[in-house]
A = this chain, B = another copy of it.
Amino acid sequence: MITVLAGGVGAARFLSGLVQVVPPEQITAVVNVGDDVILHGLHISPDLDTVTYTLAGAIDGERGWGLGGETWQALDMVRRYGGVGWFNLGDRDLGTHMYRTHRLREGATLSTVTREIARAWDLAVDIVPVTDDRVETRVTVIEPDTTTEIGFQQYFVQLRHSVPVKSVRFVGADVARPAPGVVDAIMSADVLVIAPSNPIVSIGPVLAIPGVRAAVESSRAHCVAVSPIVAGAALKGPADRMMTELGHESSVVGVARLYRDLARTLLIDEADSANAAAVRDAGMVPVVCDTIMAEPARAARLAQRVLDAAR
């Protein structure tokens, strides 16, 4: 059994490689929900949906998020009214949020609804939110004269993560409980993977749920992390700048310092081969390989390297 701690796009690509090299029913994805947002009354879970849509082969390949074959009629109408138009929601995607919201209002847990959605896409990977409780990633950003705390999606989408970050917190995490099966999936996994996701705002909220970090630490011997930082930069998103702004080194060494108590091995890209020794000095076993998952075959090869490193 393989358990993957997952954020959005990077984790989804990694998982789409993993299902090519191991039977999907042996895989559990424990997914960040700190990015979740309620907009227009709808409960939106971007990372869960990115993982689901990607594994279903339904993601829009061009954009990298949302569903293919999408239309934008509802959002056009919201904008006509002067409503909240900065968060892109396609019409097809809305159906997912409508279903999720309806089921949550009926009293279903987020993990139950997530499995129902995955089943409708014929997925055998077990996709689980790290918690069924509400956790909200909030970001304090530095503006010219002041600092303001805003929601993650406001930072990420509305401000296009173009403002400096002073601090990040996960509201509700301290009293959240891991979703059923999450701790067990981490403890009993033969291989535990920290996917190439943003360490601060994707993996961070997962580890912030009480009991999760301890479970990962106890699995350290067979835990492998994949660096989301390649040659000092994030392939996508603000992980590099955010690491620097929060006092970490934006490099595979910085990643190793964040993960050394959690994972034994760190997969770093060939572009970072010169840093392998520094990763080792930081307390992790470096494995140098191609980590750029530009095509399915490369994602599969990366997944295989992770399995090899764990064994």
- Give residues in A with beta carbon < 8 Å to B: 39-43, 70-71, 73-78, 80-84, 90-99, 101-103, 105, 116-117, 120
Contact = CB atoms under 8 A, between A and B. Distances in A.
B75 A73 contact: no
> 4 shortest A-B CB distances, which residue pairs?
A77-B95, A40-B98, A41-B101, A73-B91
Interface residues of chain A: helix, strand, loop or mixed (majority)? helix
A271 to B, nearest CB: 40
Given A70-B73, A77-B93, A78-B99, 12 more contacts: A40-B42, A40-B98, A41-B41, A41-B101, A41-B105, A42-B98, A71-B71, A71-B91, A74-B92, A81-B117, A83-B102, A91-B91
A229 B59 CA distance: 52
Contact of A83 (B41, B92, B98): B98
A94 B96 contact: no
Nearest to A40: B98
A157 B77 CA distance: 24
A93 B98 CA distance: 14
29 contacts: A40-B98, A40-B101, A40-B102, A41-B98, A41-B105, A70-B73, A71-B71, A73-B73, A73-B90, A73-B92, A74-B74, A74-B91, A74-B92, A74-B98, A76-B92, A76-B95, A77-B92, A77-B95, A77-B98, A78-B95, A78-B99, A78-B102, A81-B95, A81-B96, A81-B99, A82-B120, A83-B98, A83-B99, A94-B94
Given A41-B41, A41-B43, A75 B95 contact: yes
A96 B41 CA distance: 12
Contacts of A94: 73-74, 77, 91, 94
A42 B116 CA distance: 21
A94 B73 CA distance: 9
Given A81-B99, A83-B102, A102-B41, A73 B76 contact: no
Nearest to A113: B81
A105 B71 CA distance: 26
Nearest to A94: B74
Given A41-B42, A101-B41, A95 B82 contact: no
Nearest to A76: B95
Contact of A40 (B70, B99, B117): B99
B120 A81 contact: yes
A76 B89 CA distance: 15
Contacts of A93: 77
A100 to B, nearest CB: 9
